[in-house]
Amino acid sequence: MLTLANLSNADSDLQRFADAQDVRTFLSHTGMDGLELLLYEEPDAPLIPNATVKGVHLGYFPSWLAFWRGDADWLTAEFGSLKEAYNYYGAENQQGMLDNLRKQLDYAAKMQAKYVVFHVAEVSLQETVDYRFHFTDEEVIDSAAVLINELLEGRHDSFDFLVENLWWPGFRFTSPALTQRLMEQIKAPNKGIMLDTGHLLHTNQSLRSLEDACDYISQTLDAHGELCRYIRGVHLHQSLSGEYAQAMIRKGIRLKGTYMERLMASYQHIMHIDTHRPFLSLGIRGIIKKLNPEYLVYELITMSLEDHETCLVQQHAIFHQKEK
């Protein structure tokens, strides 16, 4: 099992390091085997040594289904104009979106990554705060499977293609039937799941302790039974934010302003829900041991390199701490 730290190619993350040796030192100090690199913009991060990148998290748009379907009316209403929508997506049609994703796959191949990660979810800005979703899980899963199959058609990459769960419509990992629906439709032989523990916790807003969180994860895995064989990796983190989400929904928030203004407002709420903190409970150790994933990613959100190192060491210690 490879134990990995998360990093993005955003300037805010890369500026934490002076050079490639700094990256190697960071991994050595924290006991990590390498990085999972999230691509925010162009698939490029010259500061990052090739050998350290074990996984590539493909870039994603929280809301993409209307664009994929060519719904010009929805795009105009959401963004103010088609021009603004096309600027946001960096493309004007399905082919453009696929071309951009293929560039990221090419980058993963160049870096000799062992896997890539792809979100299967859909949520508009307003839906992130009111949870009144327009699309069903089935609609998102079916469309995402079409996109994935078109994206991978004709490619013969050696890396695993892993789909990640979120708490929005699509792949939530709460319904074995829907998990099976998604996995059956993806044609790639090297398909699998990157189970995100924090995102799974957001599907149960009644959770108040890490013990309850571990019980919920275990129950969900038990319900999936043989489907757990698809879990090749785990994004390990936690956020017990159910009370915040419940209060947010009760407020009936209406996002206002330009698309970017609404995006920033939405992002502030998401950051309070999905905090990506270390999962510091011995209970998670048994869950990971039982799953025995090939890739274990301590996926954290931190304010500095020092904070990130501290959190990684704390998380890593859980798997080496003796039980009392």
- What is the pTM for the complete model shown? 0.97
Query: CA 65 to CA 135: how far, in whole Å?
Result: 9
Listed in sequence order, the residues at least 6 apart from 320 whose beta carbon sits closer than 8 Å to its beta carbon are: none
pLDDT tens-digit series, residues 50-98: 899 999 999 999 999 999 999 999 999 999 999 999 999 999 999 999 9
In DSSP terms, 115 is beta-bridged to 55, 160
- For the chain, what are the domain ranges? 2-318
**Residue 296, burial from CB neighbour count under 10 angstroms (0-12, 13-18, 19+):** buried
Task: Determine contact, residues 189/152, Cβ cutoff 8 Å.
Answer: no
For tokens 């409970």, the residue is 281
In DSSP terms, 146 is beta-bridged to none
Query: CA 221 to CA 173: how far, in whole Å?
Result: 9
- Reported in sequence order, the residue ranges of 144-211 that DSSP labels E, i.e. its strands, are 160-164, 191-196
In DSSP terms, 6 is beta-bridged to 36
Amino acid occupying residue 33: D
Q: What is the pLDDT of residue 322?
A: 65
Task: Determine contact, residues 216/207, Cβ cutoff 8 Å.
Answer: yes
- HSE (CB half, 13 Å, CA atoms) of 68? 19
Res. 147 pLDDT band, cuts 50 70 90: very high
pLDDT tens-digit series, residues 92-103: 999 999 999 999
**Residue 103, burial from CB neighbour count under 10 angstroms (0-12, 13-18, 19+):** middle
Q: Does pLDDT of 324 surpass 70?
A: no
Q: How many residues can be counted in the chain?
A: 324
Query: CA 47 to CA 9: how far, in whole Å?
Result: 9
Locate 55 and state its tokens: 């996984």
Task: Determine contact, residues 220/284, Cβ cutoff 8 Å.
Answer: no
Locate 22 and state its tokens: 């700094």
pLDDT tens-digit series, residues 185-200: 999 999 999 999 999 9
Q: Taking all residues of the chain, what is their mean pLDDT, rounded to a whole number?
A: 96
2-318 maps to which CATH number? Answer: 3.20.20.150
Task: Determine contact, residues 296/236, Cβ cutoff 8 Å.
Answer: yes
Q: State percent of the chain over pLDDT 70.
A: 99
Biggest distance spanned by C-alpha atoms of the chain: 61
* CA geometry: angle 199, 298, 287, nearest 5 deg: 70
Q: Does pLDDT of 135 surpass 60?
A: yes
Query: CA 211 to CA 55: how far, in whole Å?
Result: 30
Coil, strand, or helix at residue 6? strand
